[in-house]
């Protein structure tokens, strides 16, 4: 059944923005406050019919065109001042996408035709080239019905899995060929089975807002693969649909299937910049309608770039606040998305020359919205500048990517980090998030799309980004990685064993730490990118099956089983996924909830904490005051001892508090390829356990029966 807006729309109202079907036609509305005239351009058989929008209300040009139905392609042309020094770049020769379009169709053509200026000077005369033949089209669509089946999995129980829709299933042998690399591929039962097997409760999808490759990438014969180059904040990316026009329905099918499997959907959203790059870049939408209203510009009309992508959205602009909140509500309320990870989120709390403000207009509007405040909100708490690094400084309702966890854990297992920093990360990074927030505000990760995969982290000391065409200038130099003696692939059994052991220790640390763990898709099967730590682009004509695909056929199923065991252990033990910080609080028994020991089984004193040569840390986690968001804590649940040893073979004396009267039951051993303890019999505290190298051990504390 086709859905319409209220018909007729309220007399004189410009809302909603975008193309809204009515019973008589379609109502078009676009924000262009300084335009003198705006035309909606209807496209049929490669030709356009231009129609003036008759009304201008609240800075919005709007009007209804009778007879226009779903599927109609369209765009806009804006007439007005050409004064680049004041940011005015309206040029009616440029065909513009609707910023609120629910669908877009087509590709970019000649790069020169997309420029709004003539010649090589962005401040020169306006271009006389009509961009119509070189632009995608907006498409009138049918509004999906509301979605109300959000899972709202408690944060303390959440395990996130970051994946790329195209790469993830592109070569999966058990996914129907026509669904590989598509939204429907994620709905395939073998994929759902795999996600459930390894304990995933939420998938975090790299950008699925419709995107177009930026000029610098296109000029090298490449295309943007990750999708951090947004062309529409409302349209679902059509490249992951089985055919153009099916993307909304197939996205909804994917979301419903994941929900039915108990898995939430989180989107990586790029509201900090757009695909239009700097003022020297193309004009495809926002710049041609209201550049000063959408972008941060300096006094000379140049883009203020704190994103490293050429432009920065002005999140202090009412038009931008409205656009982004409308976009979030659309994906949450109409397409069933459960949460959002905000790329370079610090840029959303900053404007020209003003320090970051966690109560900035956009950030406040999001958390105050009755719908959005129930979604999972995750900030990447930095941008491309030093001032933008704001880890720990977002508001109370936000979780944040914790890069300190990533770096400190990597360094510990490389043998060059002290136990003080490791202890902080294991316990939820309280110094960062302890001000009226919960441990799950720390989204812990060791790897992410941006950087080495886990397999590459233990196989390469240097990035190998030649395929990106930037002569190795792209991608971070600070990887805290190691190659175990050989750069890249190796058949040496000792090297292979050391790498595998290292990877397992990293995974165990991630999944047994307090906070919200995030896994990178493919790490559990040994996915490699050949040492590329910035795999954001591929050849322009590369099919999805050749665009950084996961190798499921040759994948390491034993490692996947290891991760599955870790996930089951985490789920079974509320003490390992606490919803409140330890903070040294006394339990109902009067004992501390967390005690730290060294390799000798003795509690760490001040001197021990500051001995940077130590490579062994033991954590006693008391169970008697576990505070879970759910009412499911097993009364028979036990306390735990975690042992993390990053040194060579050594004997470790197991620690336990003096008040504990019981035994320690082995539950996990990362030195085994499947995480199985070498000995299953319970042992006494102070017993010496021999390790053969870097190892994570977990023991259940069993009180003696009287």
Are residues 188 and 176 in contact, defined by beta-carbon separation less than 8 angstroms?
A: yes
| Residue 513 to residue 635: CA distance in whole angstroms | 22
Please spell the DSSP secondary structure of 607-622, one letter per residue. Answer: HHHT-TT--EEEEEE-
User: What angle do helix axes 318-333 and 286-294 make, rounded to 10 degrees?
Assistant: 110
User: Backbone phi, then psi, for 86, in 5-degree steps?
Assistant: -105, 10
CA geometry: angle 569, 172, 192, nearest 5 deg? 40
| Residue 264 to residue 266: CA distance in whole angstroms | 7
| Residue 581 to residue 143: CA distance in whole angstroms | 43
Please spell the DSSP secondary structure of 263-287, one letter per residue. Answer: -EEEEEE--S--TT-STTS--SSHH
Q: H/E element holding 564?
A: helix 557-572
Are residues 664 and 682 in contact, defined by beta-carbon separation less than 8 angstroms?
A: yes
Written as six digits, the tokens of 703 are: 């009180």
| Residue 509 to residue 577: CA distance in whole angstroms | 13
First to last CA, the chain: 68
Written as six digits, the tokens of 342 are: 């905000």
| Residue 661 to residue 582: CA distance in whole angstroms | 22
Q: H/E element holding 250?
A: helix 247-260
Written as six digits, the tokens of 604 are: 């760490």
Are residues 611 and 456 in contact, defined by beta-carbon separation less than 8 angstroms?
A: no
Q: How many CA atoms lie within 13 A of 437 on its CB side?
A: 24
> Which are the catalytic amino acids?
343, 380
Using DSSP, state whether 51 is helix, strand or coil. Answer: strand
- Output the CA torsion sign for 9, 10, 14, 18: negative
Burial 426-439, CB ≥16 within 10 A → b, else e: bbbbbebbbeebbb
| Residue 1 to residue 638: CA distance in whole angstroms | 55
Q: Beta partners for 295?
A: 313
């Amino acid at each position: 059944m086709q859905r319409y807006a209220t018909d007729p729309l309220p007399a004189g109202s410009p809302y909603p923005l975008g193309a809204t079907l009515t019973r008589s036609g379609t109502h078009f509305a676009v924000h262009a406050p300084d335009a003198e005239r705006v035309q909606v351009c209807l496209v049929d058989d490669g030709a356009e019919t231009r129609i003036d929008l008759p009304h201008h209300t609240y800075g919005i040009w709007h009007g209804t065109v009778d007879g226009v139905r779903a599927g109609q392609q369209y765009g806009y042309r804006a007439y007005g001042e050409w004064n680049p020094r004041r940011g005015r770049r309206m040029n009616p020769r440029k065909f513009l996408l609707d910023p609120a379009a629910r669908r877009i169709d087509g590709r970019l053509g000649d790069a020169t035709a997309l420029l709004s200026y003539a010649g090589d000077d962005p401040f020169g005369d306006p271009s006389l080239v009509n961009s119509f033949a070189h632009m995608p089209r907006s498409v009138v669509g049918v509004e999906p019905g509301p979605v109300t089946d959000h899972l709202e999995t408690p944060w303390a129980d959440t395990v996130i899995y970051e994946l790329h829709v195209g790469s993830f299933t592109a070569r999966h042998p058990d996914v129907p060929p026509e669904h590989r690399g598509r939204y429907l591929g994620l709905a395939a039962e073998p994929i759902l089975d795999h996600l459930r097997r390894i304990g995933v409760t939420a998938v975090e999808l790299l950008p699925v807002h419709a995107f177009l490759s930026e000029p610098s990438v296109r000029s090298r014969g490449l295309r943007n693969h990750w999708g951090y180059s947004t062309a529409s904040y409302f349209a679902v990316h059509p490249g992951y649909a089985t055919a153009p026009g099916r993307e909304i329905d197939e996205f909804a099918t994917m979301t419903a299937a994941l929900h039915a499997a108990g898995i939430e959907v989180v989107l990586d959203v790029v509201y900090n910049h757009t695909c239009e790059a700097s003022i020297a870049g193309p004009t495809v939408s926002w710049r041609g309608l209201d550049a000063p209203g959408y972008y941060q510009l300096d006094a000379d009309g140049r883009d203020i770039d704190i994103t490293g992508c050429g432009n920065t959205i002005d999140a202090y602009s009412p038009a931008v606040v409205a656009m982004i909140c409308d976009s979030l509500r659309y994906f949450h309320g109409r397409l069933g998305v459960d949460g959002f990870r905000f790329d370079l989120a610090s840029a959303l709390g900053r404007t020209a020359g003003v320090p970051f403000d966690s109560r900035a207009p956009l950030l406040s509007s999001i958390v105050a919205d009755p719908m959005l405040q129930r979604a999972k909100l995750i900030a990447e708490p930095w941008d491309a500048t030093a001032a933008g690094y704001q880890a720990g400084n977002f508001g109370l309702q936000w979780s944040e990517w914790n890069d300190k966890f990533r770096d400190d854990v990597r360094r510990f297992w490389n043998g060059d980090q002290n136990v003080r920093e490791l202890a902080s990360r294991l316990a939820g990074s309280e110094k960062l998030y302890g001000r009226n927030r919960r441990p799950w505000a720390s989204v812990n990760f060791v790897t992410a799309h941006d950087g080495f995969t886990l397999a590459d982290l233990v196989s390469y000391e240097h990035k190998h980004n030649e395929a990106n065409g930037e002569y190795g200038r792209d991608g971070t130099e600070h990887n805290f990685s190691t190659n175990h003696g050989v750069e890249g692939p190796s058949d040496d059994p000792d090297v292979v064993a050391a790498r595998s052991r290292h990877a397992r220790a990293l995974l165990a640390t991630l999944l047994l730490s307090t906070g919200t763990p995030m896994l990178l898709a493919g790490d559990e099967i040994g996915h490699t990118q050949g040492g590329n730590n910035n795999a954001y682009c591929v050849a322009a004509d590369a099919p999805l099956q050749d665009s950084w695909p996961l190798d499921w056929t040759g994948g390491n199923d034993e490692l996947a089983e290891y991760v599955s065991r870790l996930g089951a252990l985490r789920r079974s033990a509320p003490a390992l996924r606490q919803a409140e910080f330890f903070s040294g609080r006394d339990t109902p028994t009067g004992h501390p909830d967390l005690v730290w020991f060294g390799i000798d089984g003795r509690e760490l004193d001040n001197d021990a904490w500051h001995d940077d040569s130590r490579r062994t840390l033991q954590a006693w986690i008391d169970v008697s005051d576990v505070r879970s968001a759910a009412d499911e804590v097993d009364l028979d649940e036990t306390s735990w001892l975690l042992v993390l040893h990053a040194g060579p073979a050594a004997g470790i004396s197991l620690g336990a508090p003096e008040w504990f009267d019981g035994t320690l039951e082995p539950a996990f051993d990362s030195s085994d390829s499947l995480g199985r303890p070498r000995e299953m019999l319970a042992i006494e505290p102070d017993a010496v356990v021999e390790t053969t190298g870097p190892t994570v051990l977990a023991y259940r504390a069993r009180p003696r029966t009287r």
